[in-house]
Structure 1
């Protein structure tokens, strides 16, 4: 892409839509955010919503727009088939789905196959640009990255290419356990985050025994007043995040683990990792724009 060409970057998720107009060196010139995730858009109306919210930006001569996230899903604007791993900028660029040739494209997301007996597939949409953006910002070609969220991702990168990743339903399980299970009768979600209780959960996750048993113990710790109702959510959070960490073999030879996501979640993962003696660094929402800028530059 020519450095003088206007670049519009869009992150269109399930529940929200945000965009940024980037300058020649990738700096954010202007940004917008709307509660217009793909679930709010009627079938066939994606183009109309896009032009309503970003049409003025697209009027710039030679404007290029890259759209990442769930807009490329089966429920989105148009399905962009996943790009299989291993994949880097070159492979992503080759799999862009052009809605308007040379002008508007959907970033495809990534897929990989597990090494288990079923070769279980895994997928991501939107996180791939965060990964490459964080790598650019960190100046790294080899790394383990963690993207916390409703469905947390653990990602392995070698030579600037995503070689493997795994998805964990940590955030969703926390919501289900704390709001729709018997545990919800014991804990109080209105309290402040309790670091000590969180680390107790992390420690317990590293002990022998099934996580299913450890989950029920959230209730009994409350019943026997070992932890207060306001401490229990932090304990549960530590237990689930710790379970994620327990399953991972983390190679620190390539440097600190890179966390990408909101401050609230990356702070918790950082706390758990450091408690277990694992160095890490964090990047926020800016990784999305950095990744889309780098992808556009490679096109």
Structure 2
């Protein structure tokens, strides 16, 4: 196994880890140098400035996941179509320097729930496979909460399909740039009771658009205080996302991947609805890149 430099280069941040042959993090670094901060043509220079010393190790291998492989990134790495596992990702790596630095391609699929429109992910695919490695499972439903939440089905080690929900972005838009913002106190602390009220309301019949407007009237008629309304709105939107999921119980607990702050609300909502779940954090990215590197270096 060669020395591995694992990089997660996203839209707003850049993380890197130097891993041992067994996948342990020997050293890590994080910078506010997401792809949007890098001028065109300067990705290699930024990479060398921040990680050049790590790459000086003999026979070092660097795998870069995330938005660095997007059209706005270092170089566009075409999506790998699903169903896909480690083998397909390895075949679709985009080598920036032969056998030394490669971009992980991301995944695409056709979503039958939206008349076979395309769906995509970049960076999450590494987290998925890393979380499965850590959980010692090869079949699961996985959820990556965030601005654009992903629900993913993995069967026998291959991603078969996934769906993206703009839950986080819609929450930000409604709470900051709509009439609801006049009613919500965004400086309040998270309120679990109000959040679960929102989850319960989301499961009732009726349009989510009507339920969202009721966030304002609940405040106007003092049914809920301005301090807890953000939690209620969050529960309403996350609950709406969950309402459309079919989680096969035989697959075992749903695996959530993200920071504690991101996974807490989904954990509360899932368990409130009787769905078992477990969480993984940043370690999933490093585990996924290490597993991918292992497949590359151990191939015949």
In structure 1, C-alpha distance between the alignment counterparts of 2:103 and 2:285, rounded to whole Å: 14
SS at match of 2:264: helix
In structure 2, C-alpha distance between the alignment counterparts of 1:252 and 1:217, rounded to whole Å: 33
Determine which of 262, 265, 274 is the counterpart of 1:265. 262
Q: Which residue of 1 aligns with 2:212?
A: 215
Change (3 A) 1:73 1:273: same
In the TM superposition, residue 118 of structure 1 has moved relative to its aligned partner by 3.6
Q: Deviations over 1:2-21 (max 9, x none)?
A: x2x11000000000000000
Matched residue count: 296
Which segments of 5 or more consecutive residues in structure 1 lack a partner in the other structure? Answer: none
Change (3 A) 1:270 1:78: same
Q: Which residue of 2 aligns with 1:128?
A: 125
Q: Which residue of 2 aligns with 1:235?
A: 232
Which segments of 5 or more consecutive residues in structure 2 lack a partner in the other structure? Answer: none
Matched, 1:8 2:16: no
In structure 2, C-alpha distance between the alignment counterparts of 1:186 and 1:215, rounded to whole Å: 12
Computed over aligned residues only, the root mean square deviation of the Cα atoms, in angstroms, reads: 0.6
Structure 1 stretches of at least 4 aligned residues deviating more than 6 Å after TM superposition: none
SS at match of 1:204: helix
SS at match of 2:112: coil
Task: With the length of structure 2 as denominator, give the TM-score of the two structures.
Answer: 0.98
Change (3 A) 1:206 1:29: same
In the TM superposition, residue 24 of structure 1 has moved relative to its aligned partner by 1.0
Q: Which residue of 2 aligns with 1:114?
A: 111
Q: Deviations over 1:19-69 (max 9, x none)?
A: 000001100000000000000000000000000000000000000000000
Matched, 1:176 2:176: no
Task: With the length of structure 1 as denominator, give the TM-score of the two structures.
Answer: 0.98
